Amino acid sequence: MSGGELFGDPALKITGAASLAEATAGEISFFANRKYVGLLRKTRASAVFVPTDFAEPVTAAQIRVSNPTKAFEQVVLKLAPKPITFSPGIHPSAIVDPSVQLGERVAIQAYVVIEAGAKIGDDTIIGAGTYIGHETVIGSACQIYPRVTIRERSRIGSRVIIHSGAVIGADGFGFEMVDGRQEKIQQLGIVQIDDDVEIGANTTVDRARFGRTWIQQGVKIDNLVQIAHNVVIGKSSVIVAQTGISGSTRVGERVTMAGQVGIVGHVEIADGSVIAAQSGVSKSVPGGVWFGYPAGPIEEIKQQIAWIRSLGKLFARVKEIEKKLGL
């Protein structure tokens, strides 16, 4: 199945799969990153997928493959329970406006509300308690999990996955001080989510003030992420949990933002950039790996941190020198 080369007993029976740390006898695991070599040496797994150039002495049987992670995933899928399926049709408790256009084999679960003018593509599943606003368009083969809110005129591509609690198209956070009071600025734009995007639980993507907030093809967004109005996220970027991106920021393609990153508004993040965890970005990023608060090139920031941590010793040395000099 994996196309790998076995080094071990071909009669070995495998009944389960687990990580290196958790695997027990009869289970298979995988090793794809050198930093986990310690776990590999201690694992109780009976067999392990390893890279083709693997040369570590281990007791477990080895299956040498070009991509241990993908090979392990194939085994997990074989051993896993069958996926949950939903029969096409509209649950009796759902409220679907007569003007809604439904494709073939669409599944509308209990207590869904779909407003006038919406369109739902073939093979899409709308989970229980979800709200689909007026004139929203959702493409084919999408999985919208229970209790998602997609507000009016949103545009969702095909094969999009949106997890529970996500809110797509809430008003952007726009106010202006008028006569000593905050007056709401109307948010008249939309959210556009392209094909093959995945959006995590309780993530929010705000509608644009004008135009669109745009999540481009293949973007993967984790749980508890806030994306403000008029933000653009480029193709194949990854946004990890608890990240917040302020309004009108443009994120390039293949960008990675680790957990709890904060981005100010109206900046640009270049293609291929990496923003390390808990970094605060206060200006445009031209590329490379950035870290810290405020964020800067990671090697520069690491050097600064090292200097700061050595200040105590430096201060003590200066005091000692002053004492010797009688100052």
| Same domain? 105 vs 54 | no
- 73 assigned to some structural domain: yes
| Same domain? 194 vs 167 | yes
Residue 33 binned pLDDT confidence (cut-offs 50, 70, 90): confident
- 321 assigned to some structural domain: no
Residues making up the chain, counted from first to last = 327
Q: Which of 32-36, 185-189, 222-226 has the lowest mean pLDDT?
A: 32-36
Q: What strand order describes the sheet that includes 61-65?
A: 5-7, 61-65, 47-51, 27-30, 16-17
| Same domain? 148 vs 200 | yes
User: What's the domain range around 12?
Assistant: 5-79
| Same domain? 251 vs 154 | yes
Query: Which residues are part of the catalytic machinery?
Result: 229
- 158 assigned to some structural domain: yes
Q: What is the pLDDT of residue 49?
A: 94
| Same domain? 174 vs 60 | no
Residue 101 binned pLDDT confidence (cut-offs 50, 70, 90): very high
Share of the chain above pLDDT 90, in %: 81
| Same domain? 131 vs 179 | yes
Looking up residue 246, the CATH number of its domain turns out to be 2.160.10.10
31-35: average pLDDT: 89
| Same domain? 160 vs 280 | yes
Q: What is the pLDDT of residue 1?
A: 57
Task: Tell me what the pLDDT averaged over the chain comes to.
Answer: 94
This prediction has a pTM of 0.86
Q: What is the pLDDT of residue 54?
A: 85
Q: Which of 164, 166, 258 is nearest to 203 (CA)?
A: 166
pLDDT in tens, 56-95: 888 889 899 999 999 999 888 888 888 889 999 999 999 9
- 308 assigned to some structural domain: no
For helices 298-309 and 311-325, the axis angle rounded to 10 degrees is 40
- 115 assigned to some structural domain: yes
CA angle 125, 224, 248 (to 5 degrees): 95
Looking up residue 57, the CATH number of its domain turns out to be 3.40.1390.10
| Same domain? 56 vs 184 | no
| Same domain? 9 vs 130 | no
| Same domain? 132 vs 29 | no
Q: What is the pLDDT of residue 324?
A: 87
User: Are 7 and 61 contacting, i.e. CB atoms less than 8 angstroms apart?
Assistant: yes
Long-range contacts of 13-17 (CB under 8 A, 24+ apart): 14/46, 14/47, 14/75, 16/79, 17/72, 17/75, 17/76, 17/79
Q: Who's near 215: CB < 8 A, 6+ residues apart?
A: 191, 192, 193, 194, 197, 199, 205, 221, 227, 233
| Same domain? 153 vs 293 | yes
Q: What is the pLDDT of residue 80?
A: 81
| Same domain? 33 vs 140 | no
pLDDT in tens, 186-206: 999 999 999 999 999 999 999
